[in-house]
Amino acid sequence: MSLPWISDLRAEFPLDQLSIEAEVLTKHSHDSSTHPAHLPEVVVWPLNTNDVVKVVRLADKYAVPVTPCGTRTGLEGNALPVNGGIVLDMTRMNKVVEVRAADFQVVVEPGIIGTELNKQLAVHHLMFPAFPASAHIATIGGMIANNAGGMYAVKYGVVGNWVLALESVLADGSIVHLGSHSIKSVAGYDLKNLMIGSEGTLGIITKATLKLVPLVTSKYLVAASFPDVKKALDATLAILHSQADPAAVEMLDAATIKYVNAFKHSNWEELPTILIELHGTPEDLPQRGKKIQSVCQTQGSTSVKSADTTEEIEAIWEVRTAAYPAIVAAHPDSGILPGDIGVPLSQIPAFMAYVAQIAQENQVSVPTFGHIGDGNFHFWLVYRQDNPSEVNRAKSLAAKLVAKALELGGTCTAEHGVGIGKQAYLAHEHADSLQLMKQLKQVLDPKGILNPGKIFATLDA
Ligand SMILES: Cc1cc2nc3c(=O)[nH]c(=O)nc-3n(C[C@H](O)[C@H](O)[C@H](O)COP(=O)(O)OP(=O)(O)OC[C@H]3O[C@@H](n4cnc5c(N)ncnc54)[C@H](O)[C@@H]3O)c2cc1C
């Protein structure tokens, strides 16, 4: 027999907006992480803000968990319904509501996929510049809720930096409008930024107003390999100081390139490699590109290549976009514990030296790649899921690497969020403000129905 709250939901929504089918529940029980799956009891696809209000009011009435999700590309279990209940799949709220071209702004629903938004904006010669590498598969709502950041954070910052206003549904079903269409606003507490990065634990985002830039049509890419990580890091810092104004500076270490070569049947030099992308005009790009090539050579690069056509640039970026799938493909039956620490730029060499030390001391491969231009690195610890000692080793090595990042003035998560896997680190990173965070959660969601079990394992002191 159906639970009373499911019967009430059924009365509110037609069959094509609600499902309790096993296949649908299973699909919504996992994300792109290797965290264990958790089944919801029901999935609802809202079509507008009012639908979200109806679901949340019912959840509030019955104290049932509601976990919003986009396309579940999260890498930290952020959208897993760990306590069951309702998954609110936001992907059908995927419209561009209004392009305000004169203001360089767009109002969108949360379910739109990043690249689809930019396709629609290109007609207006505009673009959203701060997408993560998953922009072709992830939703704007998921990006705002995780405050995602990608390759282009060097020049443009992270997704949250481009959000001017949000419409959100709070835990009691009320609708709030946070921020405004003004580029600058200091009117009261900055609740919009509290919502950004809150991983669906404080409210459901139903609309977002985003800032835009003129469409970038001219790009230039430099790829340079170095005999060791230290030289690649020195080159990165020299590039950032050179005023060449890179949009992206990414690095892959030799171990990652090896995985990519095996996966793509490519023949990249198996050495630490940095990719630098520039945005500008056809007139200024060659000069800035040459400057970067010259910096790389001065810093001891073994090979440097450049590209200025879309096809060539996309072909080179493949080495970076294939990195994570290549590591996954090389370990088909394994779990992968991902790290996404961030450290101040000057501390990257110290952090990378520690990664090498950990790998050597433990005789494990720790491939690393990431957004070196903003100090955000991914390390990947592979373990066999059926081998408890490997699982424990991966966890303990991850804890050591995170502790090092914190010691260097960094963070345990620069982009994937706390989700399930980083909760233990919060007490170290935010020892003196963790309690305040929990109090805010309790004020905004007293029954603990919004994406429970994320960010904090418990709301107790
Ligand atoms: C191949 C690959 C590459 C990636 N590259 C990057 C990268 O470069 N940078 C980066 O930061 N991340 C990256 N990610 C991680 C992931 O894509 C991002 O975290 C992304 O923002 C998640 O979007 P999503 O639509 O999949 O959200 P989901 O995974 O479905 O949800 C993420 C979080 O947002 C919440 N949420 C979703 N929609 C809403 C809403 N409307 N209101 C409130 N809360 C909501 C969920 O509850 C959950 O906590 C990558 C992932 C993959 C698989």
pLDDT at 183: 95
- pLDDT tens-digit map of 145-154: 999 998 999 9
Q: What would the pLDDT profile of 308-357 be if each residue is shown by its tens digit? A: 999 999 999 999 999 999 999 999 888 888 899 999 999 998 999 999 99
pLDDT (tens digit per residue) in 51-80: 999 999 999 999 999 999 999 999 999 999
Are residues 247 and 154 in contact, defined by beta-carbon separation less than 8 angstroms? Answer: yes
Ligand 1, atom 28: nearest CA belongs to which residue?
A: 72
374-396 confidence digits (pLDDT tens): 999 899 999 998 899 999 999 99
User: Which residue minimizes the CA distance to atom 2 of ligand 1?
Assistant: 134
Integer-rounded Cα Rg, in Å, for the chain is 22
Residue 2's pLDDT band, with cuts at 50, 70 and 90, is confident
Give the Å distance between the CA of 455 and the centre of ligand 1: 15
What mean pLDDT comes out for the span 155-177? 98
Query: Looking up tokens 């969020």, which residue turns up?
Result: 417
The pTM for the full model equals 0.95
Phi, psi of 445 (to 5 degrees): -145, 70
Question: Does the Cβ of 74 fall within 6 Å of ligand 1?
Answer: yes
pLDDT at 460 over 90: no
pLDDT, position 461: 67
pLDDT of residue 182: 97
pLDDT band at 1 (very low <50, low <70, confident <90, very high): low
Provide the sign of the torsion angle of the four alpha carbons 307, 312, 314, 315, taken in this order. negative
Question: Span 38-63, mean pLDDT?
Answer: 98
* Mean pLDDT of the 201-217 span: 98
Ligand 1 centroid from CA 87, angstroms? 15
Q: Name the pLDDT band for 430 (thresholds 50, 70, 90).
A: very high
pLDDT at 338: 87
Dihedral angle over CA of 171, 175, 178, 181, nearest 10: 150
Count Cβ atoms within 10 A of the Cβ of residue 194 and give its class: 0-12 exposed, 13-18 middle, 19 or more buried.
middle
Read out DSSP for 112-137? -BHHHHHHHHHTTTEE-----TTTTT
Residue 459 has pLDDT above 90, yes or no: no
Q: Which three-class secondary structure string do you get for 203-248?
A: CEEEEEEEECEECCCEEEEEEEECCCHHHHHHHHHHHHHCCCCCCE
Instruction: Name the least confident of 132-136, 200-204, 211-215.
Output: 132-136
**Paired residues of 342 in beta bridges:** 376, 411
β-bridge partners, 218: 280
Pocket test for ligand 1, best of 35, 73, 416 (most atoms within 8 A of CB): 73
- Strand segments, DSSP code E, in 400-442 are none
Ligand 1, atom 14: nearest CA belongs to which residue?
A: 134
Q: 352 Cβ partners below 8 Å, 6+ apart?
A: 229, 230, 233, 368, 377
